[in-house]
Amino acid sequence: MAHYGAAKAALNNYSQGLAKELAPLGVRVNIVTPGPIYTPGGDEVRKQITTAMGIADQQFMSTVPLQGRGGKSEELAEVIAFLVSDRSSYVTGRNHFVTGGWGELA
């Protein structure tokens, strides 16, 4: 998982630089960091994590502060839809965590 963290940190720094550089042109740059989301890809990653930790999937999901469950792809999509809409016209240079509080509050 170290490689994921390093790549995500690089992406975060890159997006902040782009946001600053492109702001005068009216271009907004944001990124989204999903937490445990129920998708085929997310399920596979979660399986790798729980196997490495030696815990059951439900035990892992119980660590999510908000409702003790994984997120739905629709919940992630709603955040992205907001960010690409005019409703987020004053939002740029941010990393939006869609994690149910996992990682930040756990």
Sequence-separated (6 or more) residues with CB below 8 Å from residue 66:
100, 101
pLDDT at 78: 98
Question: How does pLDDT run across 15-65, given as a tens digit for each residue?
Answer: 999 999 999 999 999 999 998 888 888 888 888 888 998 998 888 888 888
Q: What angle do CA 38, 40, 44 make, to 5 degrees?
A: 95
Q: Which region among 13-22, 66-75, 77-86 has the lowest average model confidence (pLDDT)? A: 66-75
The answer to whether 21 and 85 are in contact (CB under 8 A) is no
* E-only strand ranges, the chain: 31-34, 37-38, 71-72, 95-98
Compute φ and ψ for 97, nearest 5 degrees. Answer: -90, 120
- Its pTM stands at 0.80
> Would you name the residues annotated as active-site residues?
4
Report the phi/psi class of residue 75: left, alpha or beta, with left for phi > 0 and alpha for psi in -120 to 50.
Answer: alpha
pLDDT at 61: 83
What is the second-level CATH architecture of the domain 8-90?
Answer: 3-Layer(aba) Sandwich (3.40)
